[in-house]
């Protein structure tokens, strides 16, 4: 769940590769944890710097604003998300149905953890409905890419209507993220992989 060291420079300043200040990493690590677990709006910058053991000026030297810090958190989340996704994909080369099943089995397991808090991307989009908000922009980009990949995988499976199946899988995934944090242990999210496989079976060309 924590950002990895080698990605910090990319995440903090959106691409330029100068050495990242030391304090910035601690700030982003703490912000990542707090934003994810308790929500972005619920956390003030004072709490972040306090728990990171730094001061506010250090935060504002590395991040232009709290909104941009939130966007940086989500860019890190994006990297972590695709790492998990690609692990499932790479485990079953050439078999998109097995890839989906592997990914969703893992999602289903994660939703059953005691303090599961859903998808950081999804949550951020709920917290910031205004179009163009820095955090929302990152979130929307992640979801559009996920949709594109799911539709491509549905096509590779030979679905009767690939876009329909891809979107159906996306709905199940988002539903798992949300109901995972709403119901906790024993909730509907545990059945996401099975339901997805049922939907896939029903969507293949006969």
Partner DNA sequence: TTGTATACGTACCGATCGGTAACACTGTCA
Partner DNA sequence: TGACAGTGTTACCGATCGGTACGTATACAA
Binding site for DNA (CB under 7 A): 18-19, 21-24, 43-47, 53-62, 65-67
Rg of the chain over CA atoms, in angstroms?
A: 18
The minimum distance between CB 75 and DNA, in angstroms, equals 17
- By CB under 8 A, name the one of 98, 147, 155, 156 that touches a copy of itself: 147
What is the distance between the alpha carbons of residues 130 and 60, in angstroms, rounded to a whole number?
Answer: 23
CA 72 from centroid of its chain's CA atoms = 13
The minimum distance between CB 90 and a copy of itself, in angstroms, equals 25
What is the distance between the alpha carbons of residues 48 and 30, in angstroms, rounded to a whole number?
Answer: 6
Residue that is written with structure tokens 């710097």 in the block: 49
Q: Does 73 bind a copy of itself (CB under 8 A)?
A: no
Q: Are 98 and 105 in contact (CB under 8 A)?
A: no
Residue (of 28, 166, 130) closest to 36 by Cα position: 28
**What tokens appear for 24 in the block?**
């910035």
What is the distance between the alpha carbons of residues 167 and 71, in angstroms, rounded to a whole number?
Answer: 26
At residue 49, φ and ψ (nearest 5 deg) are -65, -35
Residue 95 vs 174, nearer CB to a copy of itself: 174
Q: Are 32 and 96 in contact (CB under 8 A)?
A: no
Residue 47 binds what, of DNA, a copy of itself, none (CB under 5 to 8 Å, by partner type)? Answer: DNA
CA 120 from centroid of its chain's CA atoms = 5
Binding map of a copy of itself across residues 93-132, x = CB under 8 A, - = no contact? ------------------------xx---xx-xxx-xx--
- By CB under 8 A, name the one of 10, 39, 45, 47 that touches a copy of itself: 39
Q: Does 139 bind a copy of itself (CB under 8 A)?
A: yes
Residue 16 vs 131, nearer CB to a copy of itself: 131
Residue 58 binds what, of DNA, a copy of itself, none (CB under 5 to 8 Å, by partner type)? Answer: DNA
Residue 60 binds what, of DNA, a copy of itself, none (CB under 5 to 8 Å, by partner type)? Answer: DNA
Residue 92 vs 143, nearer CB to a copy of itself: 143
Q: Are 106 and 85 in contact (CB under 8 A)?
A: no
- Applying CB under 8 A, the residues found at the interface with a copy of itself are 37-39, 41-42, 117-118, 122-123, 125-127, 129-130, 139-140, 143-144, 147, 164-168, 170-179, 181-183, 187-189, 191-192, 194-195, 198-199, 201-203
């Amino acid at each position: 769940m924590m950002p990895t060291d080698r990605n910090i420079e990319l995440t903090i300043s959106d691409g330029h590769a100068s050495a990242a200040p030391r304090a910035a990493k601690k700030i982003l690590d703490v912000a990542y944890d707090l934003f994810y677990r308790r929500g972005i709006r619920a956390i003030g910058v004072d709490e972040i710097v306090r728990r990171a053991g730094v001061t506010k000026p250090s935060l504002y030297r590395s991040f232009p604003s709290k909104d941009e810090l939130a966007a940086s958190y989500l860019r890190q989340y994006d990297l972590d998300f695709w790492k998990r996704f690609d692990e499932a994909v790479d485990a079953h080369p050439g078999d998109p149905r097995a890839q989906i099943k592997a990914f969703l089995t893992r999602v289903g397991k994660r939703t059953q953890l005691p303090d599961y808090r859903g998808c950081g991307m999804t949550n951020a989009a709920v917290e910031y409905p205004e179009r163009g908000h820095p955090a929302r922009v990152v979130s929307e980009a992640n979801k559009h890419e996920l949709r594109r990949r799911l539709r491509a995988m549905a096509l590779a499976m030979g679905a009767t209507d690939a876009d329909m199946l891809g979107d159906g899988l996306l709905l199940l995934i988002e539903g798992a993220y949300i109901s995972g944090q709403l119901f906790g242990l024993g909730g509907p999210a545990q059945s996401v992989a099975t339901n997805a496989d049922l939907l896939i079976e029903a969507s293949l060309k006969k």
